[in-house]
Amino acid sequence: MTKYYWIIAQHSEKVLEVENASIFQGAKIIQASKKFDHDPTVDAQLWYFNGAFITNKRTGFVFDVAGAKYENRTRIIQFVRYAESCAAQEWEYNYEDKTISLKHNRKFVLDVLDAKKDNNASIVLFEKHGRENQQFILQKWDDDSMVIENVATSIIDNFKFLPKLSQNFLEILDDDEYYDVNIEVGINPHVKTYHAHMVILNYRSPYLRRKLSTNKKNNDGTLARIELPNILPEIFVIILR
C-alpha cells in the first residue's frame, strides 16, 4: 500500500502543494493551508516517496528543479519523471535537520521563498543555511482510517538502519557463546564446523529447516548437529552469509 504524506513547512505550518491543483507539467510547487480530507483537491497536497523521487498523488508528477538551474531562487515545479536518472528530480530527506536536499548536490535544499508565511509562497531551490523556512516535517496521511501520525524517521532513506542490521547478523555468525547448532561441512579430513543459530537457519533455508526438524536440541543440553558432506566449506560460508 502506497503511503502518502503532507510535507509541512516548519516556520509557517503550511503544506506543500501543486499550485491551483494543476494537472499540467510545469506547475509551481507552493505552500498553502492544509485542506480537509473530503476536499476533492486534497490530493494536490499529498506526496509519496519512491526511492529518491517525491511524487504527487493527484498527478503522478515529481518534484523538479525548473530548467535544471542549480542556483538560488530557482523554482520547484512538478514534471513528468524521466526514464533515466535525473539530478534535477532526485532528493534526500534528512530527518536530523529536517531538510530536503538534492541527492547529487546536497548544498542545495528546498526553501520557502523569503521565509514567507502566507499562502501561495513559492518553493524554491536555495543554498542550505538551516533556518526554519528550509525545515520540513513529514506527516503521514492514512487514506482508509484518516489516522495521521508524525513521522520521526527519514522517509526517502528510511531503511538506513539496514546496513547496520546486516552487519549485526554477520557478527552473529562469529558468535562463540549463544549459538545452538553445529554444522559440519565437507568430507574428512577437510571437515569444517560452523556455529549457527536455529531460528535464523529456519527462515533462511527450507532445506535446513527440514534438517533441523529431525536434529533438534536435546533436553540434556546437547546442541543440534547437522552434517553436510556434499558441499565445500568455502561454498557453504558464502551461502550462510
Residue 191: per-residue pLDDT: 86
Residue 153: per-residue pLDDT: 43
Residue 47: per-residue pLDDT: 96
Residue 239: per-residue pLDDT: 65
Distance CA 192, CA 170 (A): 18
Distance CA 184, CA 191 (A): 6
Are the beta carbons of 142 and 148 closer than 8 angstroms? yes
Beta bridge partners of 197: none
What value does the mean pLDDT take over residues 213-221? 62
Task: Record the cell numbers describing residue 147, joined without a space.
Answer: 489516522
Are the beta carbons of 19 and 29 closer than 8 angstroms? yes
Which has more pLDDT, 116 or 216? 116
135-169 per-position pLDDT tens digit: 999 998 865 433 334 444 444 444 455 555 666 66
Distance CA 170, CA 23 (A): 48
Distance CA 211, CA 209 (A): 5
212 pLDDT more than 90? no
Residue 61: per-residue pLDDT: 96
What value does the mean pLDDT take over residues 187-197? 82
Task: Tell me what percent of the residues of the chain surpass a pLDDT of 90.
Answer: 51
13-71 per-position pLDDT tens digit: 999 999 999 999 999 999 999 998 788 899 999 999 988 999 999 999 999 999 999 99
Residue 70: per-residue pLDDT: 96
For 63-114, give the DSSP string: EEEGGG--STTEEEEEEPPPSS--GGG-EEEETTTTEEEETTEEEEEEEEGG
Residue 115: per-residue pLDDT: 97
Per-residue buried b or exposed e for 130-164, using 16+ beta carbons within 10 Å of the residue's own CB: eeebbbbbbbebeeeeeeeeebeebbbeeeeeeee
Binned at pLDDT 50, 70 and 90, residue 12 comes out as very high
Instruction: Give residue for cell 511524487.
Output: 55
83-137 per-position pLDDT tens digit: 888 999 999 999 889 999 999 999 999 999 999 999 999 999 999 998 999 999 9
Distance CA 215, CA 169 (A): 23
Which domains, from first to last, does the chain contain? 4-158 (2.80.10.50), 163-240 (3.30.710.10)
Distance CA 98, CA 8 (A): 10
Q: What is the pTM of this model?
A: 0.61
Q: Within 10 Å of residue 224's Cβ, how many Cβ atoms?
A: 19
